[in-house]
A and B are shown apart, each in its own frame.
Chain A
Amino acid sequence: MTIAPDAPAYTGPIAHLTREDVEQLGRELDAIRQEVIDTRGERDAAYIHKVIKVQRSLELGSRAVLLASIFPPAFVVGTVGLSIAKILDNMEIGHNIMHGQWDWMRDPKIHSTVWEWDNASTAEGWKHSHNELHHTYTNIVGKDNDLGWGIMRVDEEQPWTPSSLFQPAMNFINMCIFEYGIAAYDLELGRVLRQKKKGRRPSAEWEMAAKKTVAKIRRQAFKDYVAHPLLSMIALSGPTTLVANLTANFVRNVWTHSVIMCGHFPEGVETFELKDIPEDEGRGDWYVRQMLGSANISGSKLLHIMTGNLSHQIEHHIFPDLPSNRYAEIAPKVRALFDKYGLNYHTAPMPQQVASAWHKVLRLSLPNGFMESTNVRNAPSQLGKLVKAVRGDNRTRRRILKEFEAAGAASIGTAV
């Protein structure tokens, strides 16, 4: 790719890099990708086959144990097993197969075009919103709906509104019912409902997708909340099986939500403005956006598997179609490139990343500058202003938000 002589210089965290640097970085990452592709083979195929086999055995076994879930030990064992089975299905298996990571095996049963997962959202809808939109437009404000999933403000650049105050609660509810949250998100339900209010009918395409999602939700709910509990009635374990299945889905929801929050939400992860993305964004530029817009979770091998290797979110975002079992292997090489080019490789243990992500959700539920400029002494007056911002008309709100921002900047200044 040729470089336009008048191409603007980089700003922000890559201000120290030249266009040539970024292109070279792109080539070095391409080389890492090629190395994996050249050595992809039997070992990798054996890995995914094994994970699938373990998942299915675990699911069958747990469901069988739950047939007798009226006995507390069976209830506990079955519920734990089923929760793990569902997490494996969604993360290491479903997410990665639907990414096309295993398409190279040419196995018609383990292929992105046919795979369906144990989740309320349809594979088809998820592949569109996740693979096509989120992975292409990663962390571009206004383009990547994963940035707050359309219900939250997770970047200073997103405007604050009074409803932002509810976002910690919204995020908590979303966490509990995450599979339905994803399904609604894949359908862009919020946008469609807003348009409906304005009197615009959703497209026929959307209605088709919605119908498929409803059918999927019905199948999923029937399985977990009707069919299996009924089967368990042979040992009077219907109600306990119902509770176990609800619990397993809840555990899966909380776990996947937490892992996914760690991927892009922790403090310090970069977001991007559409206006800053060059029209002809090169491969290197795209790589850099993925590198800075993602965060890893450090931990054990078991943790990596349970997160579907999204603990290697950075590696995954750079190479979304490489088999997940290889991310750990290339991570040191990727990290070396971060060091070489002076970029921040964002990684921390899971509790830290989850806390950091929640901190951001809380902080941004308040206007920019509010947290920084509030202390015990001025708390009552600050709260008074906040109430005014909520209650007041647009002009008052804008004025108060500006004041907060200025006060925040000033207090950071004095602290320094």
Chain B
Amino acid sequence: MESMVEMSTSPALLAPGEVRRPAWRERFSRKAWEVAESIATPLAPADYLDMFNPLRPGADLRGRVVKVTPETADAATIEIKPGADWRDHVPGQYVRVGVDVDGVRHWRAYSLTHGPRKDGLISITVKAVPGGKVSSHLVRRLSPGKIVHLEQAAGEFVLPSDLRGHKFLMVTAGSGVTPVIGMLRNLFPVTDEGVVQHQRLDVTVVHVAPSRPDSIFIRNLESLHEAGAIRLVTRYTGSEGRLDVDTLNELVPDLKERRAYACGPAGLLDTLQAWYDAEGLPLQTEQFRLATVVTGEGGTVAFTGKTVDAPGDRPILDAAEDAGVLMPSGCRMGICFGCVLPMKEGAVRDLRNGELTVAHPGETGPEGVPIQTCISAAAGECVIDHPAS
């Protein structure tokens, strides 16, 4: 067993095919890995290696929490050392983070609040939303040393690679400031001597929040403003009222000339999008909290290739079988787990106790939420990853 560990941590084994190596070495490492597999069966060698180094190359992507810094009363910045296979990201992108809350794995997307850093850490800033299981856990309970699950950075909410000749507008609301902070930090690195301005850029940031103390990163924005790097316009809705497009036009006279980015809650984004569409101008938006899954009694279940109507008082298994879908099944009473299928999105109700299971696209694991179809009734529009025939 020890020799297995030794063999498989050698880089030759862990990145097969990625580095050009002599053919014999290639063959040798493949054989060695096969040996490791045959001595670890029925587990995989990775299961044992993860005990020693969950961040090693070749492991499922994870990260170790290094530091948790409070930003406001209900927000914190979390610095994470990502696993060896983390590919760099572009400022403005987000990362999906998987964390166990009350023993259950949850996934959420958070903006990376830095560009690539010298120390190799990544950081996210999380605001605990009222009733938010995951965000509250991250802000209040996560401690350094904890392992979290990660996916590679993703997202189109990024600046163009060539910044010359552009004027920018960034509208941020609430925690929607986070991806913008990631962009700004990368554009204007803060050193001991102050803000470094590599290039003269024309950036206006309109930040909307209930009040100044409620604003994450407000100090960063203000210091960038004082240093002349950006023009900051704040709108505190608690005292100044909601931001509408007319007000925005007043606050930013050259609105139409600016390349626009907006990140915040759905209401604001929808209003802005409608205005930009009417003007025929592009708007880059980012919204994390996807529209909530509407739950009710009964609904539809979409299989790959067929959608089935499913009443609220019948198991999905029965409804699907009646509609001619070939379903895996077993005891038909909820004990054998032979009928489990992954629900990608939607909501189902456990017919035994009425409990709801909800799959938010983007907030559950990449493989969806496994549900027992024999005791689950549809409670909304569900998507199940299973071929209809």
Name A's B-contacting residues (CB within 8 A). 30, 34, 37, 40-46, 53, 56-57, 60, 63-64, 67, 99-100, 103-109, 111-113, 116-118, 127-128, 131-132, 135-136, 216, 219-220, 222-223, 227-228, 231, 234, 286, 320-321
28 CB < 8 A contacts A-B: A43-B103, A44-B103, A45-B100, A56-B43, A100-B372, A103-B370, A106-B364, A112-B340, A113-B370, A116-B42, A118-B42, A127-B336, A128-B338, A131-B331, A131-B337, A135-B335, A135-B336, A136-B330, A219-B38, A219-B41, A219-B42, A222-B38, A223-B38, A223-B39, A227-B35, A231-B3, A231-B39, A286-B333
Cα distance, A118 to B41, chains bound together (Å) = 8
Chain B residues closer than 8 Å to A127, beta-carbon distance: 336-338
Q: Majority SS of interface residues in chain B?
A: loop
- Sort A-B residue pairs by CB-CB distance and give the 3 closest, nearest first: A45-B103, A100-B337, A131-B336
CB distance from B302 to the nearest CB of A (A): 21
Chain B residues closer than 8 Å to A67, beta-carbon distance: 1-2
Q: Is B365 part of the binding interface, using a Cβ–Cβ cutoff of 8 Å?
A: yes
Question: Can you name 5 extra interface pairs (CB under 8 A) apart from A103-B337, A107-B105, A223-B41?
Answer: A40-B103, A41-B103, A100-B372, A108-B105, A108-B365
For window 57-109 of chain B, which residues contact chain A by CB distance below 8 Å? 100, 102-106
Residues 22-50 of chain B, each 1 if its beta carbon lies under 8 Å from chain A, else 0: 00000000000001001101110001100
Number of B residues with CB within 8 Å of any CB on chain A: 36
Name B's A-contacting residues (CB within 8 A). 1-3, 35, 38-39, 41-43, 47-48, 51, 100, 102-106, 330-331, 333-338, 340, 352-353, 355, 364-365, 367, 369-370, 372
Chain B residues closer than 8 Å to A111, beta-carbon distance: 370
Structural contact, A60 and B48, CB atoms closer than 8 A: yes
Task: Write the chain B residue with the least CB distance to A131.
Answer: B336
Q: Which of A41, A53, A63, A118 contacts B102 (CB 8 A)?
A: A41
Chain A residues closer than 8 Å to B47, beta-carbon distance: 56, 109
Structural contact, B340 and A117, CB atoms closer than 8 A: no
Structural contact, A30 and B48, CB atoms closer than 8 A: no
Chain A residues closer than 8 Å to B48, beta-carbon distance: 56, 60
Structural contact, A131 and B330, CB atoms closer than 8 A: yes
CB distance from A298 to the nearest CB of B (A): 25
Cα distance, A104 to B335, chains bound together (Å) = 13
CB distance from B285 to the nearest CB of A (A): 30
Structural contact, B51 and A105, CB atoms closer than 8 A: no
Given the known A-B contacts A100-B337, A321-B337, are A63 and B353 also in contact in the complex, defined by CB atoms under 8 Å? no
Structural contact, A106 and B104, CB atoms closer than 8 A: yes
Task: Write the chain B residue with the least CB distance to A52.
Answer: B47
Task: Write the chain B residue with the least CB distance to A286.
Answer: B333
Chain A residues closer than 8 Å to B367, beta-carbon distance: 108
Cα distance, A228 to B103, chains bound together (Å) = 36
Chain A residues closer than 8 Å to B35, beta-carbon distance: 227
Structural contact, A57 and B51, CB atoms closer than 8 A: yes
